[in-house]
Amino acid sequence: MPNTNFPTHDSLTDEARAAKDQAMGQVAGAREAVSDMARTAADTIESGRTAAADRLKDAASVVRERSAELPGGERVRDLANAAADRLTTTADYMRTHNLNRMASDVEAVVKNNPGPALLVAAAFGFLLGRAMTRD
């Protein structure tokens, strides 16, 4: 009399297929969730891009308006106006370039200047770490 307590080869194969299908469904669901989160983050950044450009342009206007009041003479006024010009240029850049274009521009700068990019990243990380540990 054969032992019927052990599963057959076909039933094991069917269970393995079912487990595989279930795992593939969960992976697909996770991919979709990550994709949705990335899309939401990109949309949030994209909508904040214009607002940030407006703030930069406003800051440039304030710097220009108050540059005459700065102590230090003409040299300081020239530096303040140059900073205002940079802020305006940055605001214009942010308005005319989408997130993907800005990311590819940053990537190109990093590839062409790895040493300075590493220093900037280290400084940013240091400042971020300091900001997060202050109570």
DSSP state of 117: H
The mean pLDDT values, 10 residues at a time, for the chain of 135 residues are 60 80 85 86 81 92 90 89 94 90 92 94 91 79
Amino acid (1-letter code) at residue 91:
A
Q: What are the residue ranges spanned by the domains of the chain?
A: 99-135
Burial class (CB in 10 A: 0-12, 13-18, 19+), 52: middle
pLDDT value for 25? 85
Quote the pTM value. 0.56
